[in-house]
Amino acid sequence: MTALVAGIFIASAVVTVMRWLQVHDRRLLPLAGFFLMIAAAESLEPWHYWRSALQVLGAACGLALLPMLDRRQSGREPERAASPRP
């Protein structure tokens, strides 16, 4: 079961990096780091020291993502969908 869970996290990281290559949104990098750290942690035995360390690093990646998501768009109005004018 642990190999399956690790595989799911690795697949998530690959999809995230592929998406980053398309859009170059820097918010995707901590997300990919999170997926990789958790995948590495899941691949280790529960008693292994590095499992806990990798889980903490994954949590740090998740916390690094929070300020990036909370930033207000200063000086820019949000994009609106084009609507036909009457």
- The answer to whether residue 64 sits within a structural domain is yes
Tell me how many helices (H) and strands (E) the chain has: 3, 0
User: What domain range is 45 assigned to?
Assistant: 2-68
Q: Which residues contact 56 (CB under 8 A, 6 or more apart)?
A: none
Q: How many angstroms separate the CA atoms of 11 and 36, rounded?
A: 9
More confident residue, 74 or 39: 39
- The answer to whether residue 73 sits within a structural domain is no
- The answer to whether residue 76 sits within a structural domain is no
> What was the pLDDT predicted at 81?
55
- The answer to whether residue 79 sits within a structural domain is no
More confident residue, 77 or 23: 23
Query: By the 8 A CB rule, do 27 and 65 touch?
Result: yes
- Whose structure tokens read 């994954």? 58
The residue-averaged pLDDT of 48-52 equals 91
- The answer to whether residue 7 sits within a structural domain is yes
Q: Is residue 2 predicted with pLDDT exceeding 80?
A: no
> What was the pLDDT predicted at 69?
82
> What was the pLDDT predicted at 66?
87
Total structural domains within the chain: 1
The residue-averaged pLDDT of 53-64 equals 92
Residue type, 43: S
- The answer to whether residue 8 sits within a structural domain is yes
- The answer to whether residue 53 sits within a structural domain is yes
Q: How many angstroms separate the CA atoms of 3 and 73, rounded?
A: 41
- The answer to whether residue 58 sits within a structural domain is yes
